[in-house]
């Protein structure tokens, strides 16, 4: 990798230990991904926030570097483990809460915007076409590359943090013009968000860094997010390119059979004890749609709704949160279904959700069974 | 050969034919491999030149590499056949030299060899 004189000097430690470590991470990541140089980025989105995933080692590391490290560019943050407003309802131990608050404090000390959201593309203004960013959250990286005309690698928690501190990122394949070697042909009729989640999950398994995808009709926001969330869960692929691709591109069909295979893998229960909506977190349009669907109805069992704090505030002003609470929803900010410590197999056998990403992590990290249903089906079966 | 994290060390090689998942199989206090199915089971990584095919598993494993360094139980250097982001970022966090070598070179290295490594040299690996 070619470094500028200033980058070399930082790597040698002439700008302090924190800068030196940040450049070591960028160089190691860049060499590992065949980047030839570092380039400036304008926005980073960090993962590695939830104490459930980064543990004591992560908490101690962040506490240590927050003494000196300050972010150089706009930096937003993934969800953490709970919503402080209602954490007392969820039986979390004191140690978890205090470690999580320490992590929060470390990020704030470094100058990070405490957005605690996995959908930065919905709650912040999108910069102009082609802007280089560095997003660690997989669904956000895929959304940024595929729908928002931004450019990002599928960053690790560490490379994104190093990018926040230095304002730079390795110039790897997804920042350049990437030509996928595979085209997925969508061949399932009448798809809902579950179908698109599974299509994304399938694409992540067969794709390398990017995939072409053809045969898609009009998709709403929920379906786009489901597809990004699904793909981020199953592989390292981080961009959809919409179209047939070159004629010599390998073509693979996503049909009823593939759909059924993934469904059988991820759907492990006939019914759930509770319902979760959000992974990715719900945006305002999804909240509004949910309020509409719940008119005159209420849930027969607990339903956890995950949404960013800023969206919850907007929803409160419009009156949506009242409506949702009336229908029996628990509204949670700052956290998400994915890797939540709020659902444990001690108290819950199975969860009903419309999220493929949520299903994967509920099963593999929380160890609970999952019952997959589209939102319309959930409303039909689980409310009265 | 590719240098991912630079540095200069001398030590005894500990070689594994298995890949290493740092999150699940390495004790972050003792630096000892705790997975009984691993060919380095019960071996300590402390102060070795660790030679293994590549890292696998969750990227959070990078924190394990940082932890063993903090606990003085980390290898002096790591040498892999294939670059992976977990080991790359872990070694970068912990400032442990890391290089990627060819398959031939990898097969020529054996456990117990005395090795010196200097990533700034044109010929980084020596067996004094």
Q: How is domain B2-126 classified at the CATH fold level?
A: Glucose Oxidase; domain 1 (3.50.30)
Backbone φ and ψ for A361, nearest 5 degrees, come out as: -75, -35
User: Which residues does residue B9 pair with via DSSP β-bridges, in sequence order?
Assistant: B117
Tell me if B20 sits within 8 A of B52, measured CB to CB.
yes
Tell me if B39 sits within 8 A of B16, measured CB to CB.
yes
Q: Is A164 helix (H, G, I), strand (E, B) or coil?
A: helix
A57:B95 CB<8 A: no
B5:A27 CB<8 A: yes
User: Where do the structural domains in chain A lie, given as residue ranges?
Assistant: 5-175, 182-264, 267-382
Give catalytic residues of B, as residue numbers. Answer: 58
Residue with tokens 């001398």: B10
Q: How is domain A267-382 classified at the CATH fold level?
A: Aconitase; domain 3 (3.30.499)
Residue with tokens 């997925």: A184
1-40 in chain B: CB under 8 A from chain A? 2-5, 28
Residue with tokens 């009156």: A319
For A196-234, how does the pLDDT look when each residue is reduced to its tens digit (9 = 90+)? 999 999 999 999 899 999 999 999 999 999 999 999 998
Q: ipTM, 2 decimals?
A: 0.93
- Model confidence band, residue B56 (pLDDT cutoffs 50, 70, 90): confident
Tell me if A254 sits within 8 A of A188, measured CB to CB.
yes
DSSP summary character for residue B115: E
pLDDT of residue A163: 98
Chain B residues touching residue A61 (CB < 8 angstroms): 63, 66, 93
Residue with tokens 């002439």: A14
A156:B92 CB<8 A: no
- Model confidence band, residue B58 (pLDDT cutoffs 50, 70, 90): confident
User: Where do the structural domains in chain B lie, given as residue ranges?
Assistant: 2-126
**According to DSSP H, which parts of A12-78 are helical?**
17-32, 51-65
Of the candidates B66, B83, B86, which has its C-beta nearest A57's C-beta? B66
Tell me if A79 sits within 8 A of A103, measured CB to CB.
no
Of the candidates B5, B63, B95, which has its C-beta nearest A61's C-beta? B63
Strands of the sheet with A182-186, listed across from one edge? A240-242, A211-214, A182-186, A250-254
CA distance B100 to chain A (A): 9
The answer, yes or no, to whether the previous bond of A36 is cis (omega within 30 of 0) is: no
* Residue B10, pLDDT above cutoff 80: yes
CA distance A271 to chain B (A): 30
The Cα diameter of chain A in Å comes to 67
For B62-92, how does the pLDDT look when each residue is reduced to its tens digit (9 = 90+)? 989 999 999 999 999 999 999 988 999 999 9
Q: How is domain A5-175 classified at the CATH fold level?
A: Aconitase; domain 3 (3.30.499)
B93:A25 CB<8 A: yes
DSSP summary character for residue B40: T
């Amino acid at each position: 990798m070619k470094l500028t004189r200033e980058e070399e000097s930082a790597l040698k430690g002439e700008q302090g230990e924190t800068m030196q470590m940040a450049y070591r991470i960028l160089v190691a990541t860049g060499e590992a991904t065949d980047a030839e140089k570092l380039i400036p980025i304008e926005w980073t989105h960090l993962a590695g926030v939830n104490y459930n995933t980064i543990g004591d080692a992560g908490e101690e590391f962040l506490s240590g570097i927050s003494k000196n490290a300050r972010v150089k560019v706009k930096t937003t943050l993934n969800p953490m483990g709970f919503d402080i407003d209602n954490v007392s309802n969820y039986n979390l131990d004191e140690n978890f809460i205090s470690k999580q608050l320490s992590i929060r404090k470390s990020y704030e000390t470094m100058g990070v915007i405490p957005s605690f959201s996995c959908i930065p593309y919905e709650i912040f203004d999108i910069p102009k076409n082609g802007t280089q960013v560095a997003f660690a959250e997989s669904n956000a990286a895929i959304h940024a590359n595929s729908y928002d005309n931004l450019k990002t690698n599928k960053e690790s928690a560490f490379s994104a943090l190093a990018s926040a501190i230095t304002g730079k990122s390795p110039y790897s394949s997804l920042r350049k013009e990437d030509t996928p070697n595979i085209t997925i042909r969508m061949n399932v009729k009448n798809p809902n968000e579950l179908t698109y989640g599974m299509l994304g999950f399938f694409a992540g398994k067969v794709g390398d860094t990017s995939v072409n995808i053809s045969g898609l009709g009009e998709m709403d926001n929920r379906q786009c997010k489901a597809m990004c969330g699904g793909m981020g869960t199953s592989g390292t692929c981080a961009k959809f390119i919409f179209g047939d691709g070159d004629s010599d591109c390998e073509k693979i069909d996503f049909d009823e059979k593939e759909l059924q295979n993934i469904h059988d893998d991820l759907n492990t229960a006939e019914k759930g004890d509770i319902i979760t909506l959000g992974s990715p977190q719900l945006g305002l349009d999804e909240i509004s749609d949910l309020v509409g669907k719940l008119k005159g109805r209420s849930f027969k069992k607990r339903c956890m709704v995950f949404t960013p704090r800023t969206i919850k505030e907007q929803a409160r002003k419009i009156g949506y949160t009242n409506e949702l609470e009336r229908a029996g929803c628990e509204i949670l900010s700052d956290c998400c279904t994915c890797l939540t410590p709020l659902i444990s197999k001690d108290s819950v056998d199975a969860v009903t959700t419309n999220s493929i990403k949520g299903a994967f992590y509920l099963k593999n990290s929380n160890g609970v069974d999952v019952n997959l249903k589209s939102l319309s089906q959930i409303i039909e079966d689980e409310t009265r | 050969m590719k240098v991912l994290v630079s540095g200069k060390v001398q030590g005894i090689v500990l070689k594994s034919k298995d890949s290493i998942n740092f999150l699940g199989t390495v004790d972050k206090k003792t630096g000892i491999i705790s997975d009984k199915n691993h060919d380095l089971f019960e071996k300590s990584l402390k102060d070795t030149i660790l030679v293994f095919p590549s890292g696998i598993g969750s990227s959070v494993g990078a924190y394990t590499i940082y932890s063993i360094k903090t606990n003085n139980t980390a290898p002096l250097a790591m040498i892999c056949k294939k670059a992976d982001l977990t080991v790359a970022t872990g070694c970068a966090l912990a400032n442990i030299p890391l290089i990627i070598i060819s398959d031939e070179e990898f097969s020529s290295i054996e456990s117990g060899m005395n090795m010196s490594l200097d990533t700034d040299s044109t010929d980084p690996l020596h067996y004094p």
